[in-house]
Amino acid sequence: MGSLKESLSVEVCDSGALEIRVADQRVSNAYRLDDRQHAAWLDLFRAIASDFGTRLPRNRERFDAPPADARIQPLLTYNIHPRIRDGYGDPAVLRTGEAWHLVATSNDAPDAFPILRSPDLKKWNLTGFVFPRGEAPSWMITAENLADYWAPELHKVGRGYLLCFTARNSDRELCIGLARADHPEGPFVADPEPLLTGGVIDPHLFVREDGSALLFWKEDSNAVWPRRLAVLLLEEPELIEHLFDNETDRRTAALCAGLWRWARTATPMEQFFSLQPLIEAVVALYVEVSARLDSHPEVIAAMRTPVFAQALSPDGRTLVGERTTVLVNDLAWEGHLIEGNYVTRQNGRYYLFYSGNDFSTPDYGIGVAIADDPLGPYVKMPEPLLHSSRDWWGPGHPSVAPGPDGVPRLFFHAFPAGTGGYKAFRALLSARLAFHPEWVEVLPPQ
């Protein structure tokens, strides 16, 4: 057989449905994607893997899950209202004197960011949306399959409530915005322009004891390097054999590079769908592939996903002072990204919870880093605090609030076992915590 870059070819016809033809020296097969959501792409790659020996998506591999984790308490395991489409991803919980308030990701639903209220963490009611249909700020894209309403978070700041969130602007850039209300259930009034632009997500507000606030956020460079690498592999196909040692990953790289000819004009999320097998091939040999890309620093630089922090002005309208890098992905279990950051002060120390690895796979988990100052330096616990189990896959994007007994609780999302992916349902889960000077413990239910 000749070199793999020559033996695998891809043609795409986009006429509403996608028609994809893959061929090598042995066979040529055609595939049709009428449904262009994440699950359909994963099924497509499973079929191509079977036919052409490319990488099977991690989401479609057999996963021998650890036993069920009895410390985890499910709180919301179904959509309680038809206007909530995809569950409770990226959940942020705030406790006031009278109740717990939850805001969550809504992806591209017409009603952005559901707001739920509970008197006891058992019964939940939908009280509204941060931006009901037709009321989003003008800078936000609102069309289905284009909009991404991600990671809202609500805090008491001064006499009112400040909500930070992620959305796309008209250039399809991920941006961070702010909205304000006198009550945790709204109505919310958004600032007229985003606070930050240019591919940034997962804002977190840490309010100091003196009432001043820090904004934490993550640079979404994990959405950048796969595109840069796909372009590079198209322009320099001989790199495929240099970067990857085995036939499976070389064929995977050739497949995704071929798909990029079409995907370069697709929506950002569909670009991610089409490149996911390439991402997984790189992550499987992350250190080796990074070293072999030493002559392409523009790709290597994007393979780090820093978490930044900066002070919010007293009026809560702008960022002031210097930006600080507080965390980067540098542990093996984190893979090519960290995200979903949340800081809490406990017993005089600062605990930064975060997520690592690919959200759509069972490898996703929750980590912790600890510092004496909210800006760091942070020392990470070496292994994830929570990871996939027999009941729940991909726990992530945590927040912290007191439980009914006053004990701090971690609130986070996870997929029901055997599921996962963009727009797949994510449940709201909780676990009681104990904070030690150098580590965090997950406690059993009371």
CB–CB of 130/186 below 8 Å?
Answer: yes
Q: Alpha helices, DSSP H only, in 247-292?
A: 247-263, 268-284, 286-292
Is residue 4's pLDDT more than 60? no
DSSP state, residue 218: E
Contact 440, 431 (CB under 8 A): no
**Average pLDDT, integer, range 231-235:** 95
Which tokens hold the place of 220?
């979404």
- The neighbouring-strand residues paired with 76 are 428
Beta bridge partners of 409: 401, 432
In the beta sheet, which residues pair with residue 8?
A: none
pLDDT of residue 5: 44
Residue 292: its H or E element? helix 286-292
Give the bridge partners for 205, in sequence order. 215
- Backbone φ and ψ for 45, nearest 5 degrees, come out as -70, -30
**Greatest Cα-to-Cα distance within the chain, rounded to the nearest angstrom:** 71
Q: Looking at the domain 73-220+305-443, which fold is it?
A: Tachylectin-2; Chain A (2.115.10)
Give the per-residue pLDDT at 1: 34
Confidence of residue 301 (pLDDT cuts 50, 70, 90): confident
Residue 243 has pLDDT above 90, yes or no: yes
Give the phi and the psi of residue 82 in degrees, each rounded to 5: -65, -20
- Of 361, 442, 439, nearest in space to 398 by CA: 442
The rounded distance, in Å, linking the Cα atoms of 432 and 436 is: 13
**Mean pLDDT along residues 89-103:** 96
- 183 pLDDT tier (thresholds 50, 70, 90): very high
Q: Is the pLDDT of residue 85 over 70?
A: yes
pLDDT tens-digit profile of 48-72?
999 999 999 999 999 998 999 999 9
pLDDT digits (tens, 9 = 90+) for 107-144: 999 999 999 999 999 999 999 999 999 999 999 999 99
- Residue that is written with structure tokens 């099924």 in the block: 43
Helix 268-284 / helix 38-52 crossing angle, nearest 10 deg? 40
Which ranges in the chain are annotated with CATH 2.115.10.20? 73-220+305-443
Give the per-residue pLDDT at 410: 98
Predicted TM-score (pTM) of this structure: 0.96
User: What burial class does residue 211 get, using C-beta atoms within 10 Å of its C-beta: 0-12 exposed, 13-18 middle, 19+ buried?
Assistant: exposed
Q: Of all residues in the chain, what percent carry a pLDDT higher than 70?
A: 99
Phi, psi (deg, nearest 5) at residue 287: -65, -45
The region that residue 113 occupies, defined by phi over 0 for left and psi between -120 and 50 for alpha, beta otherwise, is: left
